[in-house]
Amino acid sequence: MMMRVAGDEPTIDELMQAANRRLAGLEAGDVPDLASYDWIVAASSAGKDSQAMLDVLVPLVRAAGCLDRMVIVHFDLGRVEWAGTAELAEEQAKHYGVRFVKMSRPQGDLLDHVEKLRQWPTASMRFCTSDHKRGQVYRLFTQLALETRSKRGSRRQVRILNPMGIRAAESPGRSKQIPFKTDAKATNGKRHVDVWYPIFRWSTEDVWSRIRSSGVPHHRAYDLGMPRLSCCFCILAPESALLLAGKHNRALLDEYVAVEERIGHKFKKHLTIATIRDRVVAGEAPSGAVSSWCM
C-alpha cells in the first residue's frame, strides 16, 4: 500500500508511471504505508545521512500515528568508532522522542574479530558490515517479532520496515540499489521485512541543509574534515582520511598497528596501517579537503 505525499489528484499518465515505479520499488517522494507495519526500525550510525534521514522520517511516522512502534537502532562498533558516536546516536533518538536500542556483536568488537580471523575486511568481504551491523539488526528483528507475537498471542507474520540513510550518490554500487524492497534474507515465517531508503536521491548538499535546519547536533568528526562517519580507520578510506583520523585518534591507531603486526596481514593490499602511523608521527597531514569514499 502507498500514500501520496502531496499534490493534486494524479493523472492517468502519473498513475501509470507510479505503477511502473512500484515494479522496481519506491522512489524519492513515495512513502510506504507506515501504519501497516508493526515496527519501524531505523538504523542510525549517528552519521550525516542517518541524521538527515531521521529528520525526514520521524515527522512522517508521527503523522501516521505510529511513533510508538518506531525504534532507532545503533550498531555499536566499540573502540573502532569515533569517540562519542554511540552517545550521539542516543542523543538524536531522544531529541525525536523515539525508543533507542544499541546492538553489538557479543563476541567482541571489530578489532577482536580481525585478530581472530587473522585478516582485515576487504571490499569484497565486508564482515565489518555483515557481522557487526546486518547480523545484529537481524537479532533485533527476532526480538521485536517475539515481543509482538507474545503480547498479541498471535502467530501471524510480524511486519517490519527497516529505513536506512543509503543514498545513490554515495557510490556506483549504491546507485544501482532499489530504494524500496523486501529483505528476503531477513524475512521468514515469523516476520516480513521491507527495506526503505527515504533520502535515496538526495545530494550531500541536501543532507547538510537538512541537518543545519534541524538544529540537531552532528558529530565533531565532520568539523575536523572527515566526509564520512564510519570506523575511524575504514579499509575503504583514502590515505588522506586515514591520516586525518590518525591525527585525532593516536591511541586507537597504535592498537591497529599492534593488531596488524600480530596477525601478519596488511590493513590494505598495498598499504600497512603502520605506514599511516609513521606518517602521522612525522607530522604529515592531508593536503586540502579529504575526499569521500565509496561504500
CB 128 within 8 A of CB 135: no
**Cβ-based neighbour number of residue 19 at 10 Å:** 9
Please tell me the predicted confidence (pLDDT) of residue 123.
Answer: 83
Query: For residues 199 and 196, what is the distance between their CA atoms, to the nearest angstrom?
Result: 9
pTM (global) more than 0.75: yes
Q: What's the CA angle centered on 37, arms 35 and 41, to 5 degrees? A: 110
78: left (phi over 0), alpha (psi -120 to 50) or beta: left
Query: For residues 285 and 290, what is the distance between their CA atoms, to the nearest angstrom?
Result: 10
Please tell me the predicted confidence (pLDDT) of residue 50.
Answer: 96
Please tell me the predicted confidence (pLDDT) of residue 17.
Answer: 45
Residue in this structure with the C-alpha cell 526503505, named with its chain if needed: 196
Q: Which domains does the chain have, with CATH numbers?
A: 2-204 (3.40.50.620), 232-281 (no CATH)
CB 45 within 8 A of CB 77: no
Length of the chain: 295
Q: State phi, psi for 42 to the nearest 5 degrees.
A: -95, 125
Residue in this structure with the C-alpha cell 507495519, named with its chain if needed: 37
What string of pLDDT tens digits covers the 295 residues of the chain?
444 444 455 555 444 444 434 433 445 458 999 999 999 999 999 999 999 999 999 999 999 999 999 999 999 988 999 999 999 999 999 999 999 999 988 888 899 999 998 998 888 887 787 776 888 889 999 999 998 988 766 778 999 999 999 999 988 888 889 999 999 999 999 999 999 999 999 999 999 999 999 999 999 999 999 999 989 999 999 999 999 999 999 999 999 999 999 999 999 999 999 999 999 999 999 988 898 877 6
